[in-house]
Structure 1
Amino acid sequence: MSSFVKTTLAAALASSLTLGMQASAQAADLDRIQLKVPIAFSTQLPGLGSPIAKVADKIQKVSNNTLRFKVYEPGKLVAPFEILDAVSRGKVDAGYATAGYWAGKIPASPLFSAIPFGPEAGEYIAWMYYGNGMKLYQKMYDQAGYHVKVLPCTLNAPETSGWFTKPIEKPEDLQGLRMRFFGLGAKVMEKLGVATSLLPGAEIFPALEKGAIDATEFSMPAVDARQGFYKIAKYNYFPGWHQQATIFELLINKDVWNKMHENQQVMVEEVCKASMADSFAEGEALQFKVLMENAEKHGVQIMRWNDTMLAAFRQAWEEVAQEEAAKDAFFKEVWDDLSQFRAQYELWERNAFLPREF
């Protein structure tokens, strides 16, 4: 190693240690704040609810105990679908959920959660952090009258496309099915004759078991395995055209956010950014083992949608996107911006990455 490199590394290490000591000293002078944080997904669900527990731990450490998140499991303090309202009204300080849960109140919200037929993770966060995504994300809540600061805080790998009790080979096979389905993908399924409902995670297996629904989608294989869907539905379909990447959000009441010192705000922002990378890596690492176990131990048939089905989903999605944009001006604003970004990104994607078959 050259003396220049050694000197540079030593200087960098000394600088980082100095900054760390300065940060600790500054943190010691900050007001101590504890936030009550109800969550929509159990911390026992890997890559889905588990990231917020890690976030809470890291924030406590990097803030030198001046900032603490007290995490409440789903339903213990606030019901999952009530988190946005509770945070906005100041009933709780913060909450962890997904923007797709607010589609009934804010039509554009699913665009900040998961979008049928992409974008995939890299493209999604490129738009979010270096396109207009973050600006539009916050604008959505401000414009709708919600008193919250929003931060993307978890990024999931592709989901399964659903658990079925029979093979689905043509669009007609979907007609009449009752299925738990999330977000914009639910509108696609409805166009194909499926009666959809959005159930929180804890309610899905009982609904399957009682026959209240015929099929379901929920999350990645490692999460779905914890839910036990394989006990009832043996046909697990891929790819998850409806959720190639999914973002989960940390919502903080604006009064609480503004009460934080700027240093504390930066800590939360940076820990959430780190969580986006960590949760995605965890999700990518866990799935293949679960797929093998599902097939070998539980008799699950790992199925891939044929071209006819994917074309039907794609056509239905294009119709849904046009309809939603026509109904809601802000949906159109976000959709147009994202579409423009994706059209430009396509030049990079087409040339930079190997074809899938390689």
Structure 2
Amino acid sequence: MLKKLIVITTVFMMLVLVGCEQVNVSNADNDGVSNEKVKWQLATAWPHSMFLQEIPKKWAEDVKKASGGRLEIEIYAAGELMGGGEVLDAANMNTIDAYHAATNMWIGKMPAAPFFTTIPMLMEEGLRLGWIYEGGGLELWQKMYDEEGLNIQVVPLGFTGPETLAWSNKEMASLEDWEGVKYRTAGWWAEILRERGVSVTSTPAGEVYTGLERGVIDAAEFATPNIDRDLGFDEVSKFYTGPGMHQPTTMYYLGINKDSWNKLPDDLKEIVMLTAQSTTLWSYTKDQHLSMEANSYFIEKGITSVSVDMESQKQLQEDTIKYLDSKSEELGGIFKESWDSIKVYREDYMKFRDLMMPKTE
């Protein structure tokens, strides 16, 4: 899946660059293609120092190059124009042209939102990418925004792999170890763990480090090893636990005001889409590489790595499916439509993967 995506993205980008050269030449011949430059303002949900902020920055650079400077995007970190939680409303009202965030941030507005960002236990890399780009996921993603009455065009932008399951000062290798633990997490994973006796807390992101340091919380999850290293969680924890059951993959996105989007000529729309795909691939491989380095760093530093036992993982996967089945029947609509689509695609994917992928260590 990854090799195929690399080949497709490379070919697309070559076509885009060739196309841009042709546009420049034809513009000189007055063929009717506009030379007008477009400038957008884009606000993100991320601070300057976070790896996720590099994703829209890289994309904006690629768009400017591929468009010959015809489309420029000014990138603002959270807090510069507005808070990270305000970017959706700002783009919807056309205060800004676009934003970069994760859809699960809006779970209070759209209960199905996490399907398009991350699902505990179920969506590995190939499955997530396949469902979004080829299996109907992107169409359902856009439908969810449209049904909510939001004037937003959804464009996937950014992808990261498994997150650290827990930073802690207690070993957490089985469900029994998790009982009564005060654990910082959120969303569906929080609901699933509460049923298992975990004392879930929604400690704000900026307080996770001090919470671990002072023992206010016993354990926490936040992001990938790459990002966790930048935040220094290894400085206040003895144990580093996997696998990333709560967040095996994470997909981010651009939310573009539809008025701004519709004003773009078709060739610039194509450049936006293709550069978003190439940047998504870049973000995945870059974060994976940096997370591998971080993993080695933690082990060399003496942090004890822990893996949750297989029996506990199987139980938590069953819990997740049961939880989502129940929510699907309760909520119906786009929630049920998305969950049904994922289950069908996942079944086909698993059959194919089990047949085709080697099972040796």
CA distance in 2, matches of 1:273, 1:176: 42
Cα distance change of structure 1 residues 327 and 167 upon mapping to structure 2, 3 Å threshold? same
Is 1:205 matched with 2:209? yes
The structure 1 residue matched to 2:274, chosen from 246, 263, 270, is 270
Cα distance change of structure 1 residues 250 and 295 upon mapping to structure 2, 3 Å threshold? same
Is 1:220 matched with 2:220? no
CA distance in 2, matches of 1:203, 1:255: 38
Partner SS, residue 118 of structure 2: coil
How far residue 200 of structure 1 moved from its aligned partner, in angstroms, is 5.9
Q: Which moved more, 1:133-142 or 1:282-291?
A: 282-291
Q: TM-score, normalised by structure 2?
A: 0.87
Partner SS, residue 159 of structure 1: coil
How far residue 94 of structure 1 moved from its aligned partner, in angstroms, is 0.8
CA distance in 1, matches of 2:23, 2:152: 27
How far does the alpha carbon of each residue in 1:310-340 deviate from its partner, in whole angstroms, 9 at most, with x for none? 1332232122212221222221110001111
Cα distance change of structure 1 residues 30 and 214 upon mapping to structure 2, 3 Å threshold? farther
The structure 2 residue matched to 1:242, chosen from 228, 243, 246, is 246
The structure 2 residue matched to 1:291, chosen from 295, 300, 306, is 295
Q: Which residue of 2 aligns with 1:306?
A: 309
Let me know the Cα RMSD of the aligned residues: 2.3
Q: Which runs of 5+ in 1 are unaligned?
A: 1-13
Is 1:85 matched with 2:89? yes
Aligned partner letter, 1:21? E
Is 1:39 matched with 2:44? yes
Q: Which residue of 2 aligns with 1:69?
A: 73
Percent pairwise identity: 28
Q: Which residue of 2 aligns with 1:100?
A: 104
Q: Do the aligned partners of 2:53 and 2:77 also contact (CA within 8 Å) in 1?
A: no
Aligned partner letter, 1:311? K
Q: Which residue of 2 aligns with 1:8?
A: none
How far residue 20 of structure 1 moved from its aligned partner, in angstroms, is 4.0
Q: Do the aligned partners of 1:236 and 1:300 also contact (CA within 8 Å) in 2?
A: yes
How far residue 198 of structure 1 moved from its aligned partner, in angstroms, is 4.7
Q: Which residue of 2 aligns with 1:127?
A: 131
How far residue 113 of structure 1 moved from its aligned partner, in angstroms, is 0.3
Aligned partner letter, 1:268? V
CA distance in 1, matches of 2:266, 2:354: 41
Aligned partner letter, 1:308? E
Q: Do the aligned partners of 1:43 and 1:51 also contact (CA within 8 Å) in 2?
A: no
Partner SS, residue 49 of structure 1: helix
The structure 2 residue matched to 1:315, chosen from 311, 318, 322, is 318
Q: Which runs of 5+ in 2 are unaligned?
A: 1-13, 28-32
Cα distance change of structure 1 residues 16 and 258 upon mapping to structure 2, 3 Å threshold? closer
Q: Which residue of 1 aligns with 2:4?
A: none
Cα distance change of structure 1 residues 262 and 151 upon mapping to structure 2, 3 Å threshold? same
How far residue 226 of structure 1 moved from its aligned partner, in angstroms, is 0.5
Q: Which residue of 1 aligns with 2:327?
A: 324
Q: Which moved more, 1:254-263 or 1:103-112?
A: 254-263
Aligned partner letter, 2:153? K
Q: Do the aligned partners of 1:30 and 1:261 also contact (CA within 8 Å) in 2?
A: no
Q: Which residue of 1 aligns with 2:149?
A: 145
Partner SS, residue 290 of structure 1: helix
How far does the alpha carbon of each residue in 1:269-292 deviate from its partner, in whole angstroms, 9 at most, with x for none? 111110111111112212222112
Is 1:168 matched with 2:172? yes
Q: Which moved more, 1:93-102 or 1:304-313?
A: 304-313
How far does the alpha carbon of each residue in 1:144-192 deviate from its partner, in whole angstroms, 9 at most, with x for none? 1111001111010111112112012442433333333244222222222
CA distance in 2, matches of 1:260, 1:198: 41
CA distance in 1, matches of 2:254, 2:313: 33
Q: Do the aligned partners of 1:41 and 1:201 also contact (CA within 8 Å) in 2?
A: no
CA distance in 2, matches of 1:169, 1:304: 6
How far residue 36 of structure 1 moved from its aligned partner, in angstroms, is 1.6
The structure 1 residue matched to 2:257, chosen from 244, 253, 268, is 253
Cα distance change of structure 1 residues 15 and 53 upon mapping to structure 2, 3 Å threshold? closer
Cα distance change of structure 1 residues 350 and 18 upon mapping to structure 2, 3 Å threshold? closer
Is 1:24 matched with 2:24? yes
Cα distance change of structure 1 residues 322 and 22 upon mapping to structure 2, 3 Å threshold? same
CA distance in 2, matches of 1:50, 1:173: 37
Cα distance change of structure 1 residues 192 and 86 upon mapping to structure 2, 3 Å threshold? farther
How far does the alpha carbon of each residue in 1:222-272 deviate from its partner, in whole angstroms, 9 at most, with x for none? 110001111112211111012221100111111111111111111111111
CA distance in 2, matches of 1:35, 1:145: 23
CA distance in 2, matches of 1:16, 1:34: 20
How far residue 201 of structure 1 moved from its aligned partner, in angstroms, is 4.2
